[in-house]
Amino acid sequence: MKLSIAIVNWNTKALLNQCLTSVYANLDGLEAEVIVVDNGSSDGSAEMVRREFPQVKLVEAGENLGFTKANNLAYDISSGEYFLLLNSDTVVLPGALSALVSFLDEHEEAGAVGSKLLNPDGSLQRSCSPFPTPLSELLDALYLSKLFPNNRFFGRYAMTHWDFSVTREVDFAGGSCLLVRRKASDQVGLLDEDFFMYSEEADLCYRLKAAGWKVFFLPTAQVIHYGGQSSKQDVNRTSVELCRSKYKFMLKHYGRVSALSYRGVVLLSSVLRLAAWGPKALVSRNNRVYKARLSIQKNLLSWAVSER
């Protein structure tokens, strides 16, 4: 088997149907298997897969295992030379899968390669990033990358100065569509299950690079990514989970001082936003929007000061 494609789903039935349709329409003759792990969906996702895509290997977890554990479950039953992490809220465009596979075939030093992600309107979505650090998170929290988008220092993490039409080596590529060489992932392990969701691809790529493998961004492999369709179902929880995952990443790879520094960045960012948005929540016509934002920041503040 050349290619194993793993799709983790949680209550995104319509998008999952669209994703699977695009996968099977664009295999381009590749010998491939598709594995769907359903994380206890209540929207009929599993029934839809059984009915409309009987060729899929369907695993019904019965509960929300999270992104990492569900993908590892798929990995354990897969047999492909290459393993593709693919979000359920993606649409694979023509030539994308064959381009990714061909790249790993032709570049033996590559442990993983990520696709170019597009928004549904065709505009560019950030597809790769440098590894997060307390400094990069501070610059992002203070909106300096938006104020100075063409500055290589301030825009480094947001990559606002990059040419995304060029194939290049990167720190890590997005897990929405990331092809991993099994030989490499067998060496370092696939996803660390301490990461429930978010930063798991950064951790994987960090371990790959530490073991001597390279990670690439491939613009000729294009995938539409709707983004955050599962996380939108519980924004408060997923916002905290994003910060928690970055904290775990820095604690694991940089040490306690860096991790605590990042917690300080989250605390500072939350205090500033609460101070700025609090008055607007009282007087703005969009006070519902600001109240929702305040709720998120309160949760982040609580996490920053209380979690051990």
- Helix or strand run (H / E) with residue 70: helix 67-77
For residue 116 the two structure tokens come to 């170019």
CA distance 93 to 102: 16
Q: Count how many Cα atoms sit within 13 Å of the Cα of residue 204 in the half-sphere of its side chain.
A: 32
Segment 254-272, tens digit of pLDDT: 999 999 999 999 999 999 9
Say what the pTM is.
0.91
Residue 11, pLDDT above cutoff 80:
yes
- Walk me through the domains of the chain, giving residue ranges and CATH numbers: 3-127+164-228 (3.90.550.10), 232-306 (no CATH)
Looking at residue 122, its pLDDT comes to 93
Question: Could you report the per-residue pLDDT of 198-249, keeping only the tens digit for each?
Answer: 899 999 999 999 999 999 999 999 999 998 555 555 678 889 999 999 999 9
Q: What is the pLDDT of residue 232?
A: 56
Residue range 92-97: mean pLDDT, rounded: 98
| Percent of the chain with pLDDT strictly greater than 90 | 75
> Is 215:118 a contact under the CB 8 Å cutoff?
no
Least confident of 71-85, 107-121, 176-190, 286-300: 286-300
Worst-scoring range by mean pLDDT, 66-75, 98-107, 171-180, 222-231?
Answer: 222-231
Ranges of beta strands (E only) in the chain are: 3-9, 32-38, 57-60, 82-87, 90-92, 110-118, 124-125, 128-129, 168-169, 172-173, 177-181, 214-225
Would you state the pLDDT for residue 234? Answer: 67
How many degrees, rounded to 5, is the angle at CA 224 between CA 205 and CA 148?
A: 70
DSSP string, 39-63: -S-SSSHHHHHHHH-TTSEEEE-SS
- pLDDT confidence of residue 282: 74
More confident residue, 145 or 190: 190
Is the alpha carbon torsion for 119, 300, 114, 63 positive or negative?
negative
CA–CA separation, 235 and 140 (whole Å): 20
- DSSP 3-state of 168: strand
What is the average per-residue pLDDT within 121-133? 91
